[in-house]
Amino acid sequence: MRFLICGDVVGRAGREVVFQNLSGIKKRLSIDFVIINVDNAAHGFGIMPEIAYQFLENGADVLTAGNHLFDQKEAPGLLESEKRVLRPANMVNTVPGSGVLEIITPIGQKIIIVHLVGQVNMPMIGENPFYYMDKLLLKYQIGKNVQAIIVDFHAETTSEKNALGCHLDGRVSAVVGTHTHIPTADERILESGTAFQTDVGMCGDYNSVIGMQKVIAEKFVNGYSYKKMSPASGEATLCGVVVSVDTATGLALSVNSLRFGGVLHPSS
């Protein structure tokens, strides 16, 4: 089974590069299942219902988010009504929606998608993601009662992402990092068979500051800025990772970074 996990979509440019190319990529790479992080899809901040349904209608199977999810007032209602939009699973239980989605394919295979948020330098308060996964994996076990488990870990630091990958190695199919918008060159299969990449990057305009217009640089030059951040609007790059999973074991067979369009060098 082949999964495509796309990094944080930023603004209109990010949405358009996904909408225009996802169908062709799915066909060319024989993708069975698509997960897209939409944490910055609505004007750079969060997700709105109409945009969420555009992604789902254009070929996404599940949408994850992150620390900007609740920047849009419609988010709680969307989470309550649409199970394919996930909030971080390790947030407090009073938050609407779910961070775990169980899917049964037409041929009876069970897939689990888990969305987590990190603890280091992140504004959301919730349960330790390492402890959360330990408890969840008492219920779901690859090679036994599920065919694949994919984890989107929305976290700030590379060390925390790497630590979770090591912690879950051999127990999930893939741990994929999102949030920092820059694709890392470390996609690999870990020692016990879990696919991993520290960060898959973003779907957005890289002629920018992590997808935002360059005026944000003033904050770093002067220590402050009164200018409102808004997404860059040039040609975007679609960044993601393709993971092939052996459904008999739930472990990864291959993992390959994907970069398409825009100013970044395309993946080979």
Beta bridge partners of 12: none
How do residues 79-104 score in pLDDT, each as one tens digit?
A: 999 999 999 999 998 899 999 999 99
Domain containing residue 176: CATH number? 3.60.21.10
Q: Does residue 210 form part of some domain? A: yes
Rounded CA-CA distance 102/109 in Å is 10
Short-list 243, 246, 60, 32, CA closest to 146: 246
Rounded CA-CA distance 157/144 in Å is 32
How do residues 119-156 score in pLDDT, each as one tens digit?
A: 999 877 789 999 999 999 999 999 999 999 999 999 99
Cα angle: 77, vertex 102, 142; to 5 degrees: 150
Q: Mean per-residue pLDDT for 163-178? A: 98
Inform me whether the pLDDT recorded for 219 exceeds 90.
no
Percent of the chain with pLDDT over 90: 87
Q: How many CB atoms lie within 10 A of CB 263?
A: 12
Rounded CA-CA distance 180/103 in Å is 28
Q: Does residue 265 form part of some domain? A: no
Q: Does residue 267 form part of some domain? A: no
Q: Taken in order 38, 94, 157, 147, is the CA torsion positive or negative?
A: negative
Q: Mean per-residue pLDDT for 38-53? A: 96
Inform me whether the pLDDT recorded for 224 exceeds 80.
no
Q: What is the pLDDT of residue 3?
A: 98
Please identify which of the residues 68, 115, 154, 181 carries the catalytic annotation.
68
Q: What is the pLDDT of residue 222?
A: 79
Task: Choose the weakest-confidence range: 151-160, 206-215, 223-232, 236-245.
Answer: 223-232
Confidence at 214, pLDDT banded by 50, 70, 90: confident
68 among known catalytic residues: yes
Q: Does residue 141 form part of some domain? A: yes
Q: Mean per-residue pLDDT for 249-262? A: 97
Q: Does residue 266 form part of some domain? A: no
Q: What is the pLDDT of residue 268?
A: 65
Q: What is the pLDDT of residue 186?
A: 98
Q: What is the pLDDT of residue 239?
A: 98
Q: Mean per-residue pLDDT for 256-265? A: 95
The separation between the first and the last C-alpha atoms of the chain, rounded to the nearest angstrom, is 21
Inform me whether the pLDDT recorded for 56 exceeds 90.
yes
Rounded CA-CA distance 153/66 in Å is 9
Q: Mean per-residue pLDDT for 60-72? A: 95
The model carries a pTM of 0.95
Percent of the chain with pLDDT over 70: 99
Task: Choose the weakest-confidence range: 30-39, 65-74, 150-159.
Answer: 65-74
Q: What is the pLDDT of residue 93?
A: 86
Instruction: Characterize the bridge pairing of strands 33-37 and 8-9.
Output: unpaired
Mean pLDDT of the chain: 95
Q: Does residue 100 form part of some domain? A: yes
Task: Give the range of the structural domain holding residue 215, as residue numbers without chain letter.
Answer: 2-260
> How many domains, the chain?
1
